[in-house]
Structure 1
Amino acid sequence: MRRPLALLLWLLPCVGLPMGATTVYKCTGSDGKVIFQDSPCGKAQRQQTLDLPDVATQPAPVAPPQPSATTDRADAAPTPPPLEPAAPLPRMYACIRATDGKAYFSGNGYPEPYLAPFGMLGAVQMPLAHAYGPAGGAGISAPEVNRGKITPGLVASNYVWVQDQCRPLTVQEICHALQDAYDENARKLRRAFKSDRPPLEQRDNELRAQLGNC
């Protein structure tokens, strides 16, 4: 009795064949018993062969292509700029200008003294009659008339040495001042021409590094 081909295919995985076998022999005895083997059948058996592909010659599975570093990444999210390494916070001082009382920030807590007109300090209100009067004054205020009449004694008596007063900022105040400076520099950078950008970009990197410690 001939067995259907489907039964043959179902039985093939159960046959212990060596890895290099390419031909399977179907041997049918006189009693109708079927045996599958890798060697030719006996003389008393009816033989049929089935050719199978060699396992060793099977093509290896192809791995899916991996994205290359040069692959176009138009659809990928933009890579953020690298963070600048944190830099130590600078020493900063809040100073008051001696001549007009205006506040400003400085990296120097001991500004150099400078000469300022005594009248600008608001300590003494000197009337014009005293400044230009006959009692040792400079005369009338017209520059062409006063040439040669301003003496060293007159200058010394109306100019004094002054120095701005400063105090060190706290860490919180320094961070606030650095953030203001960064915002102002960023506004200049957005409006700057290409030739004017390098110093602003350098300042931007410095401020970002310092703000890393805030």
Structure 2
Amino acid sequence: MRRPPLPALLGLGLLATALTGTAAATTIYECTTADGRVIYQDTPCSAGQQQRTMQVADAPAAPRPPSPPAPASAPRPAAPPPTRAPSVPSAPLPLMYTCVRATDGKSYLSDNGNPPPYQAPYGVLGAGQLPLSEVYGPDRGGAGIAAPEANRGRVSSGLVANNYVWVQDQCRELDVEETCQALQDAYDENEHKLGNAFKSQRPPLEKREAQLQTQLANCGD
């Protein structure tokens, strides 16, 4: 009895692998019919046939293609910096001075520490209140002087009071605390005016308000 060649057996083994989908050895049945024909199959032989089994190794499974690499995750954008609440810009504290008026001794604030001199009536300074005999000496208007001599070139109190002399106010620079207090007082006064102003009067007051706010920003709480 002639048997199929080995390639045929391997083909049957591959066929069995395709049918079963397994990677193990496959059982092949060799069946001999009554008339002497040899049949190979993967199921047991029919009744009345001679049966012989053999194990045919399956062909190795083809390796699976490697999985594509996972795409690299895009870098996360950097978080934006936290936003700060808008604040009032600051401006350097101005130089401020407190000055004493030469004519009446009253104080006032100024941004000029060296105010220009000005003319004031001599009598406003208090000199006109003195007796003329003390202002101009005992040789004028004193007892024992003849009337014609006393009247010659006599200076009246009105003439002295209306005479003008040069005077200048005295000033000193404020320290930081005093400057901040002066700015706060000016801001409060400006706010009061702004609250009572008509619409046409508001622009200069609003401009002054913004200026004082920037200066007060350096004064802290």
**TM norm structure 1:** 0.49
**TM norm structure 2:** 0.48
